[in-house]
């Protein structure tokens, strides 16, 4: 056993971690934003090795994000286990630009992590990042950021953390709404979690915004409603003053105990002072070397923490900056496979893949109409906020490649399908098969180079005519900031197509000139038919390869 966990714990777009323990099992929920189904939940027995087990928001009665803008949808879910049930609260954000935020908070429950998950109970719409606290007396409390739409000098619009009781019988919030914490000088106070330990209520929040000033703040009080005293060494965690640290943007955290002890049960159990380690899971970003561009998005990392004699929590390695390696006794962390190959031989989509927004995937794709193939039905244009046939998986290494085999018979220039690297409607690179003006089947490289808010396209002068009736293999290679497409007809050798493209644009930060976002880059298959005829495209397989571990750590 190597007794070390290498960060990040969950590579690629997996932000806003919430962790809970049920017996010997650990479950970690992360945000999925506009990608469907909603909320990723991973399982582990040792805190080092994690497996995706479910995305619980998988039907229209739970979640419909058609029309949600980019980087809206599922924000900051909170997962807890109490009373023999799993409890999941989440925000469905419908708008986040400007002074207003239209986000609705819901609760679903399940007897088992795999489900069945209930239809949602509506909670409130006062702000985002809801968290459910199970107190030791059996009462349950919802806390969330309250949004203040007003613009006032010296104040941000993060109006404070509010608390209200949840009534189990009435299945709604009841009683007074109380502001329990208004934050520190770091500002932008969000992502709250409450815990109870040794007679104290501990409040963990994210502050500083989710960029390079992000941080974790802790406060405590003898009473649930406060006042809360801020940690004397605040912030508990940040990368702000350590620009050379590979883990940047550290913040938005949650607590859990190790298997050796139960010194601080998360989300509401009364703790004690027994032996054992506690761990902090938090989001982070790994920018491309020499840049502040994070195409892998915000990922999840873990840090070992210790409770001091003064009752405050601190990082076990000292200071407040995240560690790339964390000592955990008795574990061996398995590296990610160098290759993930998908043959589409079953009638269910492989777990790694998601699609965008709609709860009706049968309108987008089928795995049964042509067995052994993923058939995509061409829908709205690339970047549509409603219904586009785009099935993709996360990029989780800055050195990687993707390949697929395509059979497609477009009838005109309005029908195109192929291999795509997609961040959102303003940031993508697309190797697409279509027809040209003379009716020849061609490959084209289509990009949107972070052109917010216009979304204008760049079409590379690199079209390649294809032989009729030939199966086409499509590939891409990403080496840090450079992305290149390639293709092969039939059994021929791979050929490059188009210019070297900027993979750094496919990041939260993008060009730095335009707009902030919160997701990460996806690689996948797409079919678009803006004529409305739904022309199908068949993909025989998809292969994703990572560079060897030594190149990425």
What backbone phi and psi angles, to 5 degrees, belong to 105? Answer: -105, 135
pLDDT at 222 over 80: yes
Residue with tokens 């195109």: 416
Q: Is 97 a catalytic residue?
A: no
pLDDT band (50, 70, 90) for residue 275? very low
Assign 550 to helix, strand or coil: helix
Give the residue-averaged pLDDT of 502-515: 84
Cis bond leading into 453, ω under 30°?
yes
Q: Rounded distance, CA 14 to CA 282, Å?
A: 10
Residue with tokens 């046939």: 389
Catalytic residue among 165, 190, 299, 396: 190
pLDDT band (50, 70, 90) for residue 260? low
Continuous segment of H or E residues that includes residue 124: strand 121-124
Mean pLDDT of all residues belonging to the chain: 93
- In the chain, where does the domain assigned CATH 2.60.120.200 lie? 339-546
The pLDDT of residue 259 is 54
- In the chain, where does the domain assigned CATH 2.115.10.20 lie? 4-327
pLDDT tens digits, 358-379: 999 999 999 999 999 999 999 9
Continuous segment of H or E residues that includes residue 549: helix 549-552
Cis bond leading into 227, ω under 30°?
yes
Retrieve residue 404's tokens. Answer: 């697929």
pLDDT tens digits, 315-332: 999 999 999 999 998 999
- CB distance 216 to 16 below 8 Å: no
pLDDT at 552 over 80: no
Q: Rounded distance, CA 398 to CA 378, Å?
A: 30
The pLDDT of residue 352 is 98
The pLDDT of residue 464 is 86
The pLDDT of residue 470 is 81
What backbone phi and psi angles, to 5 degrees, belong to 387? Answer: -150, 100
CA angle 249, 227, 168 (to 5 degrees): 85
pLDDT at 103 over 50: yes
Render the burial of 272-309: b for 16+ CB within 10 Å, e for the rest.
eeeeebbbbbbbbbbbbeeebbbbbbbbbbbbbbebee
Distances (CA, A) of 512 to 291, 299, 366, 449: 11, 20, 38, 12
Continuous segment of H or E residues that includes residue 422: strand 415-424
pLDDT band (50, 70, 90) for residue 156? confident
The pLDDT of residue 270 is 38
- CB distance 397 to 362 below 8 Å: no
- Please state which of the ranges 90-104, 150-164, 349-363, 378-392 shows the lowest mean pLDDT: 150-164
pLDDT at 200 over 60: yes
The pLDDT of residue 258 is 73
Give the residue-averaged pLDDT of 337-365: 97
- CB distance 461 to 444 below 8 Å: no
Q: Which of 391, 410, 357, 348 is nearest to 536 (CA)?
A: 410
Percent of the chain with pLDDT over 90: 88
pTM, two decimals, is: 0.95
- CB distance 344 to 28 below 8 Å: no
Assign 506 to helix, strand or coil: coil
Q: Is 207 a catalytic residue?
A: no
CATH class of 4-327: mainly beta
Percent of the chain with pLDDT over 70: 95
3-state helix, strand, coil in the chain (%, to 5): 0, 50, 50
pLDDT at 517 over 70: yes
User: Do you know the residue count of the chain?
Assistant: 553
Give the residue-averaged pLDDT of 257-265: 52
For the chain, the farthest-separated pair of C-alpha atoms sits apart, in whole angstroms, at: 78
Domain 339-546 grouped into CATH 2.60.120.200: yes
pLDDT band (50, 70, 90) for residue 490? confident
Retrieve residue 30's tokens. Answer: 């992360």
The pLDDT of residue 210 is 93
pLDDT tens digits, 70-99: 999 999 999 999 999 999 999 999 999 889
Q: Which of 111, 149, 129 is nearest to 204 (CA)?
A: 129
pLDDT tens digits, 2-41: 899 999 999 999 999 999 999 999 999 999 999 999 999 9
Give me the sign of the Cα torsion angle 334, 240, 182, 221: positive
Burial class (CB in 10 A: 0-12, 13-18, 19+), 48: buried
pLDDT at 551 over 60: no
Half-sphere exposure of 30 (CA within 13 A, CB side): 29
What backbone phi and psi angles, to 5 degrees, belong to 550? Answer: -65, -20
pLDDT at 264 over 50: no
């Amino acid at each position: 056993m190597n007794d070390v966990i290498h960060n990040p714990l969950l590579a690629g777009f997996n932000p806003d971690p919430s962790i809970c323990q049920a017996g010997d099992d650990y479950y970690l929920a992360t945000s999925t934003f506009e990608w469907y189904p909603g909320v990723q939940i991973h399982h582990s027995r040792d805190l080092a090795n994690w497996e995706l087990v479910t995305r619980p928001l998988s039907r229209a009665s739970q979640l419909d994000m058609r029309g949600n803008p980019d980087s809206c949808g599922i924000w900051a879910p909170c997962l807890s286990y109490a009373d023999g049930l799993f409890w999941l609260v989440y925000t469905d954000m419908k708008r986040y630009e400007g002074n207003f935020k239209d986000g609705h908070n819901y609760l679903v429950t399940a007897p088992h992590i795999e489900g069945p998950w209930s239809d949602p109970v509506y909670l409130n719409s006062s702000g985002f990042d809801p968290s459910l606290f199970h107190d030791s007396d059996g009462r349950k409390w919802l806390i969330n950021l309250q949004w203040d739409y007003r613009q006032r000098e010296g104040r941000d619009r993060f109006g404070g953390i509010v608390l209200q009781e949840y009534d189990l019988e009435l299945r709604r919030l009841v009683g007074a709404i109380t502001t329990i914490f208004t934050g520190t000088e770091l500002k932008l106070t969000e992502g709250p979690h409450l815990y109870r330990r040794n007679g104290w209520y501990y409040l963990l929040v994210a502050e500083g915004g989710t960029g390079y000033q992000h941080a974790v703040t802790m406060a405590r009080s003898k009473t649930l409603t406060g006042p809360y005293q801020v940690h004397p060494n605040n912030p508990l965690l940040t990368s702000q003053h350590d620009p050379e640290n590979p883990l940047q943007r550290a913040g938005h955290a949650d607590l859990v105990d190790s298997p050796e002890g139960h010194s601080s049960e998360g989300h509401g159990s009364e703790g004690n002072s027994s032996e054992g380690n506690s761990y902090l899971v938090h989001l982070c970003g790994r920018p491309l070397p020499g840049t502040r561009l994070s195409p892998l998005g915000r990922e999840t990392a873990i840090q070992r923490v210790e409770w001091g004699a003064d009752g405050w929590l601190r990082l076990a390695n000292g200071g407040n900056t995240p560690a790339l390696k964390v000592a955990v006794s008795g574990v061996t962390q398995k590296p990610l496979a160098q290759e993930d190959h998908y043959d589409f031989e079953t009638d269910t989509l492989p777990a790694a893949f998601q699609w965008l927004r709609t709860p009706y995937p049968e309108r987008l794709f089928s795995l049964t109409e042509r067995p052994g193939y993923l058939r995509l039905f061409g829908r709205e244009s690339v970047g549509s906020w409603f219904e586009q046939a785009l099935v993709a998986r996360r990029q989780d290494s800055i050195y990687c490649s993707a390949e697929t085999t395509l059979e497609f018979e477009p009838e005109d220039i309005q029908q195109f399908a192929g291999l795509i690297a997609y961040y959102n409607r303003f940031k993508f690179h697309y190797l697409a098969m279509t027809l040209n003006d003379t009716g020849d089947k061609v490959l084209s490289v289509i990009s949107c180079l972070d052109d917010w808010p216009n979304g204008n396209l760049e079409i590379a002068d690199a079209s390649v005519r294809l032989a009729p009736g030939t199966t086409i293999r499509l590939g891409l290679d990403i080496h840090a900031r450079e992305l290149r497409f390639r293709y092969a007809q039939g059994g021929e050798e791979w050929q490059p197509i188009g210019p070297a493209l900027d993979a750094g644009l496919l990041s939260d930060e993008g060009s730095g000139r335009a707009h902030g976002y919160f997701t990460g880059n996806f690689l996948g298959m797409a079919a678009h038919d803006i004529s409305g005829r739904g022309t199908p495209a068949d993909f025989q397989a998809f292969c994703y390869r990572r560079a060897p571990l030594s190149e990425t750590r």
